[in-house]
Structure 1
Amino acid sequence: MSTWCACAGVPATRVVRPEARPAMQQLARSRVACRATAKEGELTTGVVFEPFTAVQSELAVVERAATSESYARVDFHPECEAAINEQINIEYNVSYVYHSLYAYFSRDNVALPGVAAFFKKARHPACSVLESVEERGHAELLMDYQNLRGGKVKLQSIMMPEMEFSNPEKGEALYAFELALSLEKLNFQKLRALHEVAEKHGDSQMCDFVEGALLADQAAAVKEFAEFVSQLRRVGTGLGVFEFDRQIAAKA
């Protein structure tokens, strides 16, 4: 512990016993730490996030929004919005071509009902049941996403497709599936371009949508059409096509 002593004319001094020195040193260190903490407290309140302060700028945007504008739109770049509308148009154009193939193979003088049904129906990427016109389903999926992000769907004109697919060398079926394979590969490239627009603007949510809901299904479609082209190149233009039509009817 400690004692105090004083002599005549000499100020009192504190005498610390040896066994008490460690405690005194610890007390000194604590006082230094407290002073450091006090200085830090002058720089920060200790609050990590102040929601009512942070939200003021976004609240002002919502309050100013007109009834014709989306209330849900957040960090959605106009170029992303425009790219989605362009992809919707691409999907509808491909769908129109497939409808023309459906109509062609349904003719009585062509009579390949399995191929006709295949071009009319395909797997929708968001469900396991058969849906009429896969590409139209893709367009509707993009339209739903556009509305989800607060964009505006703008439908554009689509081109009138060809209606005759007879080919004396390859036959109708092989020519049609080669055309379809080319369209699917082109559509895959367009979806990649759509993903690049989202990536350019740091829109990770849109990147995730394109990858999960569209690109994965499109890659599978490219492989499926490639296999059909390989099979049709083997079977020729006669009885083999008839048998191919029967097999694909089961899938459609």
Structure 2
Amino acid sequence: MVKFIASILLLAVVAQQAYGDFKLPKARKVTEISKTSNDPTNSVMKELKKQNKNVILTHANAGQEEELKHKLICSLEVPEIPKAWLDMKDACISGMRHQIQEEINASYQYLAMGAYFARDTVNRPGFAEQFFKAAKEEREHGSKLVEYLSMRGQLTDNVSNLINVPTVAKQEWRDGASALEDALELEIKVTKSIRKLIATCESKPYNHYHLVDYLTGVYLEEQLHGQRDLAGKLTTLKKMMSTHGELGEFLFDKNL
């Protein structure tokens, strides 16, 4: 009886060990997975791998972009061409640059005059329109001279200092007559500058006949007509103001 009981106990122990060996790999696997998922070090490693992958991709994209830029950039050398057509002399070029600045200066002064008479406290719309129009014309004169220099191949360098921003000499006027007087003086100054430029460019050894003809036939012609127009308007305005005072200026402004 004792031997029988001992045999049964022995079989039970063997069976338990066998069952434990059979369950152990699965339990160990579950435990290892649980530990891996809860391990913060493992999450950090995953994030580092992800960032490293992004860095690699970024460097790769940057390399491709740089390579593409090199492919798109065309480095063309300036070809050697004859220079004989660049025949304008320094004195004439300097005079042209000076005249461009004179035209821009006049344009700014006319803008100041137009802005003054456009004020609500002055309210002379006729004078304002007259001076704003003159400002536009002077600006166009300067632009045409720039285009001429470009056509003659003389704007390949020193373009940055071609025009300096001027400061206006005057910003307020006593009345319309004083403004017209200043406008006439301004036109006389510009005309003298053009004549000086013509004298420089037509004399030896320059003989720039084409430029002289352009300045004489276009610029000087317009300047002389402009001076005559301002002189006539100033005469009429002074006559009206001498008999009617401010009412004369008001009526003159209405007809500008």
Question: Which TM-score applies when normalising by structure 1?
Answer: 0.63
Q: Which residue of 2 aligns with 1:244?
A: 252
Q: Name the CA distance, whole Å, in 2 between partners of 1:165 and 1:69.
A: 53
Q: Is the 8 A contact 2:107 2:138 kept in 1?
A: yes
Structure number with greater Rg is 2
Q: Name the CA distance, whole Å, in 2 between partners of 1:223 and 1:231.
A: 12
More helix per residue: 2
Q: Does 1:197 align with 2:200?
A: yes
AA in 2 matched with 1:195: I
Q: Equivalent residues in 2 for 1:111-130 (5 A)?
A: 111-122=123-134
More strand per residue: 1
AA in 1 matched with 2:194: L
Secondary structure of the residue aligned to 1:121 is helix
AA in 1 matched with 2:227: V
AA in 1 matched with 2:129: A
Distance 1:223 1:67, change over 3 A: farther
Distance 1:148 1:240, change over 3 A: same
- Among 114, 125, 134, the residue aligned to 1:102: 114
Q: Name the CA distance, whole Å, in 1 between partners of 2:112 and 2:81.
A: 38
Distance 1:70 1:209, change over 3 A: farther
Q: Is the 8 A contact 1:199 1:207 kept in 2?
A: yes
Of residues 87-96 and 74-83 in structure 1, the stretch that sits farther from structure 2 once superposed is 74-83
Q: Does 1:180 align with 2:188?
A: no
Q: Name the CA distance, whole Å, in 1 between partners of 2:221 and 2:95.
A: 19
Measured after TM superposition, the shift of residue 246 of structure 1 is 1.0
Q: Name the CA distance, whole Å, in 2 between partners of 1:247 and 1:234.
A: 15
Identity of aligned residues (%): 30
Q: Where do 5+ consecutive residues of structure 2 fail to align?
A: 1-76
User: RMSD of aligned C-alpha atoms?
Assistant: 2.3
Q: Does 1:75 align with 2:75?
A: no
AA in 1 matched with 2:252: F
Q: Equivalent residues in 2 for 1:189-228 (5 A)?
A: 189-200=192-203, 201-228=206-233
Q: Is the 8 A contact 1:100 1:161 kept in 2?
A: yes
Deviations along 1:88-115, whole A, 9 cap, x unmatched? 0000000000000010000011000011
Q: Name the CA distance, whole Å, in 1 between partners of 2:190 and 2:119.
A: 28
Q: Is the 8 A contact 2:86 2:154 kept in 1?
A: no
- Work out the number of aligned pairs and report it: 171
Q: Name the CA distance, whole Å, in 1 between partners of 2:80 and 2:254.
A: 52
Question: Which TM-score applies when normalising by structure 2?
Answer: 0.62
Secondary structure of the residue aligned to 1:157 is coil
Q: Equivalent residues in 2 for 1:40-79 (5 A)?
A: 73-79=85-91
Measured after TM superposition, the shift of residue 121 of structure 1 is 1.2
Q: Which residue of 1 aligns with 2:18?
A: none
Q: Is the 8 A contact 1:92 1:139 kept in 2?
A: yes
Q: Which residue of 2 aligns with 1:135?
A: 138
Q: Is the 8 A contact 1:70 1:150 kept in 2?
A: no
Measured after TM superposition, the shift of residue 183 of structure 1 is 0.5
Q: Where do 5+ consecutive residues of structure 1 fail to align?
A: 1-64, 123-131
